[in-house]
Amino acid sequence: MRRRDFLKISVAGAAGTSLLAAPRYLRAQGPIKIGMPAALSGSYAQYGIQAKRAADLFSKDIKAKGILGRPVEFIFEDTAGDPAAAVRKAQKLVEKDGVKFLTGVALSSEALAVSAKCPEWKVLFMSTINGAGALTAKSFHRYFFRVNTSGPMGARAISLYLAESPMKRFFALGSDYAWGRDSAASFTQQITAAKKDIVGSDYPPVGTKDFASYIAKIRQSRAEGVYLALPGQDATIYMKQAHQFGLNREVKPIMEILELENMKAVGDAMVGAIGSSRYPFTVDTPKNKEFVKRFHELHGMYPDMFDGETYEGLEWLAQVIAKAGTDDVEKVIEAWEDSTYEGLEGPFLMRKCDHQAVQPGFAVECVKDPKYPHPIPKILATYPGDKVTPKCRTEEFS
């Protein structure tokens, strides 16, 4: 064979291969897949289930038009709240199912583990639940986006509120893992800056069932308020026990996240607790009222914090993919940076420098309202995004 013939044949062969590849490419044009390695079982299942509920409603809402005319497909995997399982399941979603977007991860510990792998996988990680400040600070990389209010931002909102209150002495009780410690540290820093005192702090292990010794310690500290960064069930159990000890009357419970789920489980013993909320469903905006109505129709309940935040994340992601005109991860990242979005609770801005969404912060109080079957969050104060978002890639506020 002459050299020229050989070249001709290889060119033809290459063209043939690309022709063969073409239908495959078109097939890849099928649905836009979003992977959710969420905690759907175990102690923290309520968070994964909130993400799933939001995804269910979003699928229903987007079904008619899709994104870029393509249908949206959610693939769920249960991590049971275990970081190692979360990485394994996320890897399966990326390598086997070919998802380009990961979201719905429940715990910060899981998020830190999964996020660390995303630059290698070249997939976009959208946090809608994870609070640990480090995700957009020390551990930040360009494949990570946080749509939700972070732990330090929540601590900031409630600190701003407390700065105005007559209370002077506080105790910080944070769960002994990334989010609990981050939030307690952030609260301590801000409350000290407001010339108030932290009279004690402690870190119960995740999954503590008996808070009696912590309750004794809080009482002895003679604090006027206790700052609580406890996840899900831990918070429920703490609130029940503190109520039985009569502590809630002496020491005001201040929660980093004042969740509907806790209010339902604890009931009236929770009334009077204050805290920050990532998304209180009682926000009075037309868009939110419409959302709450649709959500209630589909699920027969009122949306909790991460129902709202995850829905916002998904809607925003869809908007960004539409803007980029493609689901190519690099293009989507560029389109998302510095973009704005009208969220349920107000305007959102995705900061380019650390991919933290700037958004309003809320101080809320748990109150009873005869219109609802359980206590609800009443908004005490709303702070604009620039007041509650930390300086770029830090957990500090100016």
Partner 1 sequence: MANVLEQLLNALALAGLLFLVSAGLSLVFGILRVVNFAHGVFYMLGAYLGFTTVALSGWFWPALLVVPPVVGAIGALLESSTLRFIYRRPPIYQLLLTFGLALILEESIRVLYGPTAKGVDPPPLLQGAIDLGGVLYPRYRLFLVVLGCTVGVAVWLFLRKTRAGLVIRAVAQNSEMADCLGADVVRVRTLVFGAACALAGLGGVAAAPMTTAYLGMGIGVIVDAFVVVVIGGLGSIGGSMAGEEE
Q: Which of 2, 3, 195, 209 binds partner 1 (CB under 8 A)?
A: 209
Q: How far is the CB of 344 from partner 1 (least distance, A)?
A: 23
* Count of other CB atoms within 10 angstroms of residue 264: 16
By C-beta, is 206 or 344 nearer to partner 1? 206
Distance CA 54, CA 313 (A): 10
Closer residue to partner 1, CB minimum distance, 198 or 237: 237
Shortest Å, Cβ 244 to partner 1: 4
Written as one string, the DSSP assignment of 265-302 is HHGGGGTT-EEEES--TT---HHHHHHHHHHHHHHSS-
Kindly tell me which residue out of 95, 164, 210, 330 binds partner 1, with binding defined by CB under 8 A.
Answer: 210
Judged by CB under 8 A, does residue 200 bind partner 1?
A: no
Query: Is there binding between residue 66 and partner 1 (CB under 8 A)?
Result: no
- Minimal distance, residue 303 CB to partner 1, in Å: 15
Contact 122, 63 (CB under 8 A): no
In terms of phi and psi (left: phi > 0; alpha: psi -120 to 50; beta: otherwise), the region of 273 is: beta
Phi-psi region of 300 (alpha: psi -120 to 50; beta: other; left: phi over 0): left
Interhelix angle 286-299/305-324, nearest 10 degrees: 110
Closest CB to partner 1 among 126 and 237?
A: 237
Contact (Cβ atoms closer than 8 angstroms) between residue 52 and residue 104: yes
Structure tokens at 195: 């010339």
Q: Does 240 bind partner 1 (CB under 8 A)?
A: yes
Give the one residue of 29, 41, 326, 340 binding partner 1; rule: CB under 8 A: 41
Q: Which backbone phi and psi does 295 adopt, to 5 degrees? A: -65, -45
Q: List residues bridging with 225 in a β-sheet.
A: 170, 252
Instruction: Pick the closer one to partner 1 by CB: 133 or 375.
Output: 375
d(CA 30, CA 73): 10
Q: Interacting stretch for partner 1, rule CB under 8 A, among 40-48, 114-122, 317-325, 384-392? A: 40-48
The type of residue at 165 is S
User: Which amino acid type is present at position 341?
Assistant: Y
- Total site size for partner 1, rule CB under 8 A: 29
- To partner 1, the closest distance from the beta carbon of 394 in angstroms equals 35
* Binding flags for partner 1, 129-158, as an x/- string (CB under 8 A): ------------------------------
In the DSSP assignment, the letter for residue 118 is H
**Contact with partner 1 (CB under 8 A): which of 28, 84, 212, 392?**
212
Nearer to partner 1, 43 or 139 (CB): 43
Q: What residues from 256 to 295 belong to the interface with partner 1 (CB under 8 A)?
A: 261, 264-267
Distance between terminal CA atoms of the chain? 74
Residue 18 interacts with partner 1 (CB under 8 A): yes or no: no
| 298 makes contact with partner 1 (CB under 8 A) | no
Q: In the complex, which residues of this chain contact partner 1 (CB under 8 A)?
A: 40-43, 45-46, 49, 207, 209-210, 212-213, 216, 219-220, 232-233, 236-237, 240-241, 244-246, 261, 264-267
